[in-house]
Structure 1
Amino acid sequence: MPRKRDKSQLSLFHVPIYKRVWFKRLVGALILLGVLGALGTLIFLKPYYDRAQEFDLDEIDNVDLASVIYDRRGVEVGLIFADENREHIEIDDLPYHLVQALVAAEDSRFYEHRGVDFMGIARAAILNFKAGATTQGASTITQQLARNAFDLRERSIERKLVEAFLASRIEDEFTKSEILELYFNRVYFGPRAYGIRAASRRYFSKEPADLTIDEAALLCGLVKAPNRLSPLRNPEGAIGTRNNVLRRMAVEGMISEDEAKALQEKPLTLNPELANTSHPYPYIEVRKQLESVLTPEQLATGGFKIYTTLDTKLQEVAEQSLIKRLAEVEARRGYPHQTFAQYQAAENRAQLTGGEVEREYLQGATLVIDNQSGGILAMVGGRNYADNKFNIALWARRRAGTGFLPFIYGAAFERGMFPGTEVDDEPIDNKRVMVGDVVGILGEWGAESEEVFYEEKIPARRALVNSKIAASVRIGEEVGLKNVVDFARRAGVDVPKEMENFPSTFVGQTETTLAEYCRAYSFMAHGGKGPNQLHLVTRVLDRNGEEIYRRFDEDTSVEVTDPVTAFQLHSCLKESLSQGTAAKATTRYGLKEMDAGGQTSTAYGFTDNWFIGYNSRITCGVWAGLNRPQSIYEGAFSSDTILPVWVDVMNASVESYPPTPIFPPAEAMRVEICRTSGKRATDYCYEDVGMLEGTDSRLVRTTYFEYVREGTDPGGLCDVHERDPDLQPDNLQLQPGEAAAPTVTSRSVIPLAPVLTGLDPYSSVQSIVQEPEKAPEKEPEVRRATVVRPVQVGGQTDDDPPFRVRLKGPGELTFEDE
């Protein structure tokens, strides 16, 4: 018979566990511990939570941005960085595959969490435990943004807690798209690459919108270790991180497995941006000028828009022409120096072998300025910035050469002379100026020719147009060296004090810069006024678009001389381009039709070549020489070396800066001068050119117009041409340049004053003189007459041929019969 169980034992055995006393006590203890733990956790975390609340989220996009330099048309010239190379870009301007690559590489659950990914933390912890080391991070994109924006750099649990609380705040304040935009514009991608736009340009020289999938994957892979994985330093590491991101994109379903494999097989192709600008010389000068208009604090923040006077189109022409034309000089047969191409080849060999390289080769510089404001339109400070970082155009002081001659004539014209004033043109003893050899005949290297002709008496115009040194020195001696130096200084050439005592200053032995020369010539096209100083920066805007600097060009010009003197100089330098030392500008190099003037300039010994010229809008100067002053080559005249560079630039400028005619000033008096005698013309100043042309007798007016200040004595009446009283006065009303019947003869005697007191209706005895008149509003077109009589030289008669002088070298002359 079965034994019955005790009911008290059965009831105790079947009581549910949650009703048992010990369990209730255990649960109570656990709850108490949980509450106490939660309270403890809250108490522990509160300081970190509070610290996270202290950060101002309005400052999250306050980053140091690159400042952008623009030319006068708004074309981007380059970037200036304070400490970081960074440019802002909108999220809508980024390709979607770039966003995908970042999410796959850094935070695959970005669109699911609210700043902290707890699942990611758990996964990273497991993986790190298995690996026995920290191989996986769990920071979300939002946490990384918080860390970078508020400089949470220390490695500690406390920093991670603050970062987590701050990430939650950011998620509450910004949308996911805004977080991505902030991140892409802030994150570091390697040296000179802060932000995605700078990184895209740095490694691929393209905008982010043009990045391919593999390029996007590479950039996003750099975020983990940008310095170590930089493709410029570690191409194998860069390929590895790129391929890992592509694999992650395939795992996340962003691209297919096949597409990922194909992209992983692609070679690494970079196109690194080598510089912050393609025009380094003006770029560096803009940076320097900014230091004078902005405070150090402003410069440190960056993000400015800097507008300049630069014209990138003209800049490119100036750069390319200088390179091309100097290479042509070096290609000349017998060129005695190392060429630039030879230097580059030697430099390449030296990089492989560690040898030394002779750095001497033909250098050059070009500068173009606005005549009125002094704004720099183009500036080439050297042939190659990588080899020559010294800006020759602004800072190199070299011998001025014969480009100094116009200042002699400017000082003379201010004191009563005018272009028609006759001057002596005979060889001069070198002791007068003490250039080169102390004894001997002063060389005429300024004439831009190895053959030099001396003429006994010539107008000042002819002396300047043909850069006749002997005649110019005589004018300078008459005017006084101090007056000449004063004129040059007013124009803009900084002549040292000691050069006031050396007559060699007359022939350009003082030193100047290309910048000084350009400024010193610009007044001739601007009524005697020149810019006070040259500049590049016109205005600056901060990152909010507020204007913080503007240059006002009003009242910045300075008066160099009076308008009459300025126009007289211009009329001579204009003729230099058609008949003088710079005639090759039109006859060989193709200068376009424009009212322009210019002066060749060759220093003694052919060490420095200059050409300075202008039109009504701009002045352009070009220089060439070697770093250590020495002869470029024997007979190296500027009309052969650098004049074509000037022509290239001036021709290119016409479209954007169309020049206007340079008219004589209203206060000038127009005087008709006989070209044959150099004196005031009469109605008898015609000569027969038919005989020279082998045709029937044909008379041409031998006059031209000069412009003088009121009260100037033009020097008497023409004493070469006279009315033949035996002939009828049928052709007295001819216009200059028109042919006539042979009713006028050339004779040597003419009354210098009226000899009749009564009427003389046919002007049978006295000359009909063209009285001075006010300058017209527009200079008349005058057909230049041909001089038909032989020029008298050295006291020879008209029947004797003139002699010519062949220039062997500065100071070395030989005389020959024609």
Structure 2
Amino acid sequence: MDRRLRIALGILIGVLGTAVLTLGIITGLAIASIENIRDLESLHDQESALPSQILDRHGRLITEFFSDENRELITIDELPRHLIYALITREDQTFFDHRGFSFRGTARAAWNLVTNRYVSGGSTLTQQLAGHLYADRNDFSLYRKVIELWWALQLERHWTKYEILEAYLNRMWFGHGNYGVEAASQFFFGHSAQELTVAESVMLVIQLANPSLYSPIRRPNQARNMQRVILNRMVDLGYATQDEVDLSMEQYWSTYDFTRANTSTAFFEREDRAPFFSEYVRYELENRYLLGTLNVNTDGYVVHTTLDLDFQEAADRHVRTGLARANSVYRQNIASRVSRGDDLVPVIELLALGFDTPNLQVGHSKQRHRARQEYQENINPLVDAITLLFGTGHDPLRHATRESYAQRRSTSLRSTVEGALVTLENDTGHIMAMVGGREFESRNQFNRALSGAMEPGSAFKPLYYAAAIDQRVLTPATMIYDAPMVFTADNGEPYAPRNFRNEWVGPVLARYALARSMNVPSVKILDMVGFSTGLDVSARLLGIPEEERSARGFERRYPVALGTVQVSPIEMAAAYSALANQGRRRTPLGIRYIEDRTGRVIMEPEAEVRREDRRSGAHQPVISPQAAYVITDMLQTTVTSGTLRYARNVAGGFDQPTAGKTGTTQNWRAAWTVGYTPYYSTAVWFGFDRGGTNSLGVNQTGAITTGPVWGQYMKDIHRNLPPREFVRPDGIVEATVTARQGLLPPADYSGRTIREVFIAGTQPTQFDRSDQFAQQQAPELVSRLRTSLDRASFSLDSSGPALHRQLDLSLDISPEGRRERTADREPPEDPTDDRWDGEGLPLELLQDQLDLTPAPWDDGGGVNPLLD
């Protein structure tokens, strides 16, 4: 043998020996560094990250929680064969022949790199799975490849080929936050992996190598080209026919949605049938229950909630319709005001020119406003699209478009009517439905139902009315005089509430003062029960801790009687629910119990909440069952003949006993309706996130705007429920009283009487003598009038024809006569009188949402205009 050949052979043997020795050392070190290597069976115990499922009270899926891994497990037997063929074609064509490592595949990968013709990598499917499970795939070192190889050999020893394929397809990343082929199929195509076509299978498989490069959402052209390459390769290998792949390819791209946002991820496109409620549940899980190492996004919990998806669907539908109507009316109100202002512009401009007063020139200002509006709504989106296509993302034009969006967003917060709805089950406190805003999106996730701090207006009144009834200083038959009055607070601050149009009715019973939401009688009632008791009971019904009350506006000031405190819709629903539940307040809750991925119950939040209520004494009645029954009976009048009568008529009547109250805050900035049946309590709020001095308009009150939403929704959720009455406790008595003064009618009483309910011992004991007094005073009053006329030299026998025809001194000052003369300005004492609606407008006018006639019966909107 030639000497040079022997030297070369020796060098080669030495290099190979050194390589083998080095490989052996590295392999030994790798094996030594692997923990738990003796327990190879633990490979089967590897748990995949699973999303947590959120279920409604009937076990129906609301949504799933996951972070970067959206995963659903599926068995290999459920998958179509062409998916397996596509995977093998793309990633490992010798998969069923090798034992974890492929020299042929490694050589092919090297050749592809040299020729710049990448089709598949060098690692086998088994190596890829091993690397995913046991190595850092971001480490591109020989050390990591050795670890992958060793674990791949172990997987091949302990698992079958189909077990490896099943684990691979359920664990690997397919892009856009999806792990596993089932989750990926649902995300990309909207159906299960069991239904994948050949073209869809290939599209999923090519995501495995580089989802960012071959994403059909972000780079459809590149994805399509690679899809065609793999399909043709499958034909070459005999896994599919040419006609089959051509037809599948044509069907795939003929129905492809090119408008899908290129920022789509599984998280933001996940189905969520109650998004505001779901985020509330997520917060409770992460901040109260699943603490420490527990992860709601990956540990596969099953969370059983209190929500009813049927209720939620009805809530979404009615709130959406109501908000569309409220925003439409608001815009028309604004347009009406602007058009009236436009009529004055020429006159003002003429005055500015005539008197040389530039400050009066408003025409240019209005033009600038309209130009700004046109740019923000129509031009700025186009400019933004251009900067995205051709800009750098940091240029001044891009910055300007962002500022314009921010300004428009700020304007929207002040000029878009938002809404919230929440329903509680009275017996349990379960949250049955929750709507936190118009729509749940990345820029609108604030849950107004839970976290809103709004003034409730007149909807606050029943809470301290209940306190006054419980303290036995008020009954439904207590007569209160409605007339102008100035109240003086402890600090000397005067307060003079008024009714709208400054109209007063004189004597009125408490039942009808509440039903018609009269302001002066309400302030008098808070004065009767006292600030301390009235506000304390109200706050306890709402569930507001003592340390928060001052910051929420619970202060010894008379305006608080008209609802100037800060509350949320869920607190209002809970307070009214306590009235329906015999005075016992139930803590609202949304989670019943939680299971782990094996079905084992690990937590019971509902039981925990109830134990805490018993420990703290929160389960004790806030007011007596008797007081709760009486205020409930009064609030039923609000529905039959008061501010909620229009809502009842729109809903077509109620099949259950129903009680409630509306509220309209100062300057008509927000509208409320809160009400309940023996089953459920619901609060509805419409208003502005940043209202300031903005107003919904005088034609948008609680009775007109939120009342119909509440009424129709309550009618829907009570369908097919058996009739149920409010619980009537012991200690309730009934008595017949006069409709004018609420006292016992004497034997010869000729006026109208009503049947009234009382807490035993509070029923009236005095007789109503007003009828007798009127009859006694009538002759004397007529005599005084005649004397006054005589002194004025005014002859009753004058020959003036007009006098004989028009003058009538047959005065009828009986209660009946007074009612007849004042029928056009007093609210009816008869609850069935059709001449008055809940807020003083005829029902036919209420049907016209654009009617601007102010209501003579205030629902909280007629408070002192000096109040903030």
> Hey, what's the Cα distance between the residues in 2 that align with 1:117 and 1:80?
39
Deviation at 1:658, TM superposition (A): 5.2
Gap change, CA 1:562 and 1:790, over 3 Å in 2: farther
Matches within 5 A, 1:601-616: 601-616=663-678
Deviates more, 1:800-809 or 1:647-656: 800-809
Q: Which has the higher strand share?
A: 1
Match of 2:276 among 274, 281, 284: 281
Correspondence for 1:98 = 83
**Aligned-partner residue type, residue 166 of structure 1:** W
Aligned residues: 700
> Hey, what's the Cα distance between the residues in 2 that align with 1:343 and 1:79?
40
Deviation at 1:536, TM superposition (A): 1.5
Correspondence for 2:243 = 258
Correspondence for 2:256 = 269
Matches within 5 A, 1:425-504: 425-429=481-485, 442-444=497-499, 454-492=504-542, 494=544, 495-496=549-550, 499-504=554-559
Matches within 5 A, 1:795-810: 797=818, 800-801=821-822, 804=825, 807=855
Deviation at 1:569, TM superposition (A): 0.5
Deviation at 1:144, TM superposition (A): 0.9
Correspondence for 2:320 = 323
Residues 198, 245 of structure 2: 8 Å contact kept: no
**Aligned-partner residue type, residue 101 of structure 1:** A
Deviation at 1:514, TM superposition (A): 0.9
**Aligned-partner residue type, residue 324 of structure 1:** T
DSSP-derived class of the 1:804 partner: coil
Match of 1:582 among 635, 644, 651: 644
Gap change, CA 1:39 and 1:196, over 3 Å in 2: closer
Match of 2:754 among 703, 708, 726: 703
Residues 605, 631 of structure 1: 8 Å contact kept: yes
Correspondence for 1:351 = 381
Matches within 5 A, 1:105-504: 105-128=90-113, 131=115, 136-153=120-137, 154-265=139-250, 266-267=252-253, 269-270=256-257, 274-276=268-270, 277-291=272-286, 292-299=288-295, 301-332=298-329, 335-337=332-334, 350-353=380-383, 354=401, 355-356=404-405, 357=408, 358-359=411-412, 360-386=415-441, 387-429=443-485, 442-444=497-499, 454-492=504-542, 494=544, 495-496=549-550, 499-504=554-559
DSSP-derived class of the 1:548 partner: strand
Deviation at 1:363, TM superposition (A): 0.9
Correspondence for 1:628 = 690
Deviation at 1:146, TM superposition (A): 0.5
What are the Cα deviations for residues 282-315 of structure 1, in whole angstroms up to 9, with x where unaligned? 1211111002111131026421111111112211
Deviates more, 1:672-681 or 1:647-656: 672-681
**Aligned-partner residue type, residue 295 of structure 1:** L
Q: Which has the higher helix share?
A: 2
Matches within 5 A, 1:736-751: none
**Aligned-partner residue type, residue 256 of structure 2:** T
Matches within 5 A, 1:408-807: 408-429=464-485, 442-444=497-499, 454-492=504-542, 494=544, 495-496=549-550, 499-531=554-586, 533-551=587-605, 552=607, 554=610, 556=613, 557-629=619-691, 630-655=694-719, 660-675=724-739, 678-680=742-744, 702-706=753-757, 708-717=758-767, 719=769, 797=818, 800-801=821-822, 804=825, 807=855
Gap change, CA 1:549 and 1:404, over 3 Å in 2: same
Residues 64, 303 of structure 1: 8 Å contact kept: yes
Deviation at 1:664, TM superposition (A): 1.4
> Hey, what's the Cα distance between the residues in 2 that align with 1:66 and 1:558?
39
Deviation at 1:529, TM superposition (A): 0.5
DSSP-derived class of the 1:368 partner: strand
Residues 792, 802 of structure 1: 8 Å contact kept: no
> Hey, what's the Cα distance between the residues in 2 that align with 1:37 and 1:647?
86
Residues 673, 683 of structure 2: 8 Å contact kept: yes
DSSP-derived class of the 2:766 partner: coil
What are the Cα deviations for residues 629-667 of structure 1, in whole angstroms up to 9, with x where unaligned? 321112421111011111232122214865621031023
Residues 400, 510 of structure 1: 8 Å contact kept: yes
Gap change, CA 1:334 and 1:40, over 3 Å in 2: closer
Deviation at 1:92, TM superposition (A): 3.4
- TM-score, normalised by the number of residues in structure 2: 0.73
> Hey, what's the Cα distance between the residues in 1 that align with 2:815 and 2:472?
26
Deviation at 1:220, TM superposition (A): 0.8
What are the Cα deviations for residues 367-396 of structure 1, in whole angstroms up to 9, with x where unaligned? 111223322111111112224221111111
**Aligned-partner residue type, residue 193 of structure 2:** P
Deviation at 1:192, TM superposition (A): 1.5
Task: Give 5+ residue unaligned stretches, structure 2.
Answer: 337-371, 384-400, 614-618, 777-811, 827-853
> Hey, what's the Cα distance between the residues in 2 that align with 1:296 and 1:222?
34
DSSP-derived class of the 2:736 partner: strand
Residues 775, 814 of structure 2: 8 Å contact kept: no
**Aligned-partner residue type, residue 294 of structure 1:** L
DSSP-derived class of the 1:64 partner: coil
> Hey, what's the Cα distance between the residues in 2 that align with 1:191 and 1:234?
13
DSSP-derived class of the 2:332 partner: coil
Deviation at 1:402, TM superposition (A): 0.4
> Hey, what's the Cα distance between the residues in 2 that align with 1:323 and 1:790?
52
Match of 2:72 among 83, 87, 91: 87
> Hey, what's the Cα distance between the residues in 1 that align with 2:232 and 2:813?
92
Correspondence for 1:771 = none
DSSP-derived class of the 1:332 partner: helix
Residues 76, 162 of structure 2: 8 Å contact kept: yes
> Hey, what's the Cα distance between the residues in 1 that align with 2:420 and 2:595?
31
Correspondence for 1:72 = 57
Matches within 5 A, 1:28-39: none
Deviates more, 1:253-262 or 1:357-366: 253-262
Correspondence for 2:340 = none
The structure whose Rg is larger is 1
Gap change, CA 1:62 and 1:719, over 3 Å in 2: same
Identity of aligned residues (%): 27
> Hey, what's the Cα distance between the residues in 1 that align with 2:814 and 2:333?
39
> Hey, what's the Cα distance between the residues in 2 that align with 1:42 and 1:637?
82
DSSP-derived class of the 2:329 partner: coil
CA RMSD of aligned residues (A): 3.9
What are the Cα deviations for residues 160-182 of structure 1, in whole angstroms up to 9, with x where unaligned? 23322321211221222221221
What are the Cα deviations for residues 503-536 of structure 1, in whole angstroms up to 9, with x where unaligned? 10011112211121111111111111011x3221
Deviation at 1:338, TM superposition (A): 8.8
> Hey, what's the Cα distance between the residues in 2 that align with 1:411 and 1:303?
47
Residues 467, 623 of structure 2: 8 Å contact kept: no
> Hey, what's the Cα distance between the residues in 2 that align with 1:442 and 1:37?
99
**Aligned-partner residue type, residue 671 of structure 2:** N
**Aligned-partner residue type, residue 246 of structure 1:** L
Gap change, CA 1:791 and 1:529, over 3 Å in 2: farther
- TM-score, normalised by the number of residues in structure 1: 0.77
Deviation at 1:352, TM superposition (A): 2.5
Residues 66, 302 of structure 1: 8 Å contact kept: yes
Deviation at 1:669, TM superposition (A): 2.5
**Aligned-partner residue type, residue 410 of structure 1:** A
